[in-house]
């Protein structure tokens, strides 16, 4: 159970207190892509995410994208960002975490993972012993929103049709 528990839970990447991470001596961030930085079906980062990634750099964090997704997806997503990146990572296996730390020049004591999945990001991070940060998946928020909007639309449509019927 402990292996599945993140050290920190945040509503989104934007809600992570970066200064607190600095105080914890975190120097390297392993970051998941799908549903952490963008929804899984979105090809590249939006301006808010780009700004946030830039802020990480300004604050002195090393960053490495680590994704279980394909080379094609990761390379395209990273085209403009030009960050360190690992594709086909097979999280929660530890190999890609080790590789990411090697690429960033960090170690277990000063590296954190940010991801949306307990069974890949959190489990993998905890297994190797780095600081784990779980964010709420972007996809499900959008899904919730879409469902919510569709429900309202349905009600509105019903109402409009009823009114129309009465007027006829």
Q: Which residues bind Mg ion (CB under 5 A)?
A: 32, 34-36, 116-117
- Give Cα separations from 44 to 6, 49, 84, 151 (angstroms): 27, 10, 15, 29
CA distance 12 to 15: 5
Q: How far is the CB of 29 from Mg ion (least distance, A)?
A: 15
Our CB check for Mg ion shows the closer of 64 and 116 to be 116
Q: Least separation, in Å, of the C-beta of 117 and Mg ion?
A: 5
Q: How far is the CB of 115 from Mg ion (least distance, A)?
A: 6
Minimum CB distance to Mg ion smaller for 28 or for 34 = 34
Q: Which two tokens stand for residue 67?
A: 């994704």
Instruction: Name residues whose C-beta falls within 8 Å of residue 107's C-beta, 6 or more positions apart in sequence.
Output: 101
The residue of the chain with the least Cβ separation from Mg ion equals: 34
Shortest CB 67 distance to Mg ion, Å: 8
The region that residue 90 occupies, defined by phi over 0 for left and psi between -120 and 50 for alpha, beta otherwise, is left
β 131-135/8-10 pair status: parallel
Helices (H), the chain: 18-23, 47-58, 71-78, 95-104, 123-128, 138-167
Residue number, 31 or 101, with CB nearest to Mg ion: 31
Question: Which of 52/107 has CB closer to Mg ion?
Answer: 52
- Work out how close the CB of 159 gets to Mg ion at its nearest, in angstroms, rounded to a whole number: 39
**Residue among 111 and 117 whose Cβ is closer to Mg ion:** 117
């Amino acid at each position: 159970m402990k292996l599945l528990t993140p050290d920190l839970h945040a509503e989104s990447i934007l809600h992570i207190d970066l200064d607190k991470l600095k105080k914890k001596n975190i120097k390297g961030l392993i970051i998941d892509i799908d549903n952490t930085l963008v929804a899984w079906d979105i090809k590249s980062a939006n301006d808010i995410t780009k700004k946030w990634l830039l802020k990480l750099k300004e604050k002195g964090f090393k960053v490495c994208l680590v994704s279980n997704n394909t080379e094609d997806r990761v390379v395209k997503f990273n085209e403009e960002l030009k960050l360190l990146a690992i594709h086909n990572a097979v999280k929660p296996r530890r190999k890609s975490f080790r590789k990411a730390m090697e690429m960033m020049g960090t170690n277990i004591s000063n590296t954190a993972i940010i991801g949306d999945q307990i069974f890949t990001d959190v489990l993998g991070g905890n297994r190797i012993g780095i600081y784990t940060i779980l964010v709420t998946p972007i996809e499900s928020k959008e899904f919730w929103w879409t469902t919510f909007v569709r429900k309202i639309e349905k009600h509105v449509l019903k109402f409009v049709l009823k009114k129309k019927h009465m007027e006829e």
